Copies of this chain bind each other. A is one copy, B any other.
Amino acid sequence: MVTHDKASHSTAEKEKEKTEQDVLVELSLSKIKNKFIVMSGKGGVGKTSVSVNLAMALAGKGYKVGIMDVDLHGPDVPRMLGLEGMLTLNQNQKLIPMPYSENLQAVSVESLTQNKDDAIIWRGPLKHSAIRQFIADVEWGELDFLIIDSPPGTGDEPLTVAQTIKDAKAIIVTTPQEVALADIRKSINFCKTVKMEVFGLIENMSGFTCPSCGEKIDLFGSGGGEKTAGAMGVTFLGKIPFDLNVVSCGDTGVSFQEKYKDSPVTKAVADIAEKMSKLIS
């Protein structure tokens, strides 16, 4: 009974407090069919590469896709997409996402700063409002998929996404080494705590073939991601191998999957994109 009273009270209060921004956030989100947040426990597991490659693969299938880069301290999405310059406003004073192709557009805090080497020294509350603005004040339009690239860990950024986008699903990226796996167990528990659905787990940098001798080398081990997914009761989406060309394409803003159409990486990404596109009926 008490719980029920409290709940109605807090709902009423929330209704009252609904700001203009809340309305804009809801309006933006209502036009987006599927929202994914790409998370990782540890940094450097290739989360941004995976986000960008999944977005490209979905766009290649004909879906309308947006990428939102909320890694405010290391916004690498524009570089990986080869996008330069600043975001501009349309006649409704909304930010226009940067177009990568007809079907793919991106927004990043990097595209709001004039000097790309400036550090964003924002404490948590500022991050919270920046992310809400990226939803409310951007002219995303009708999208089939919004891919949100978040910084590693379970801090302000994923928390704000979970609270603002109630139907966001998490894709968790890990490498196979134990240190990374320990951290993604935290990411999975984070999702349980904030009641965000885990769409699945991807094992990235899984195995490496020496370009010189062709020998398969386990740089960071292999298979740990699948085992952890099983143990934690989440879907395993697949393994993406380590490929030196992913690094060089990311550094230079070249599309890996266009340049290396037959690579095992392209195949692995396409398989995962196919699983995501099953959500569109």
Say yes or no: B221 contacts A217, CB within 8 Å: no
- For chain A, residues 125 to 175, give those with C-beta under 8 angstroms from any C-beta of chain B: 125, 127-128, 151-156, 159, 175
How many copies of this protein are present in the complex?
2
Partner of A252, one of B121, B155, B178, B187: B178
Contacts A74-B152, A122-B155, A252-B178; is A219 near B193 (CB within 8 Å)? no
B-chain residues with CB within 8 Å of residue A7 when the two chains form the complex: none
Write the nearest CB–CB distance from A103 to chain B, whole angstroms.
Answer: 24
Contacts A43-B44, A178-B252; is A211 near B220 (CB within 8 Å)? no
Residue A17 interfacial (CB < 8 Å):
no
Interface size class of chain A, counting residues whose CB lies under 8 Å from the partner chain: 35 or more
Partner of A217, one of B177, B193, B212, B251: B212
Write the nearest CB–CB distance from A251 to chain B, whole angstroms.
Answer: 4
Residue A12 interfacial (CB < 8 Å):
no
Say yes or no: A45 contacts B42, CB within 8 Å: no
Say yes or no: A123 contacts B120, CB within 8 Å: no
Which residue of chain B is the closest to A224 with respect to CB atoms?
A: B251
Interface of A is mostly: loop
Residue A259 interfacial (CB < 8 Å):
no
Say yes or no: A123 contacts B156, CB within 8 Å: yes
Say yes or no: B211 contacts A212, CB within 8 Å: no
- For chain A, residues 87 to 139, give those with C-beta under 8 angstroms from any C-beta of chain B: 116-125, 127-128
Say yes or no: A186 contacts B73, CB within 8 Å: yes
Contacts A43-B42, A43-B43, A79-B178; is A190 near B121 (CB within 8 Å)? yes
Residue A23 interfacial (CB < 8 Å):
no
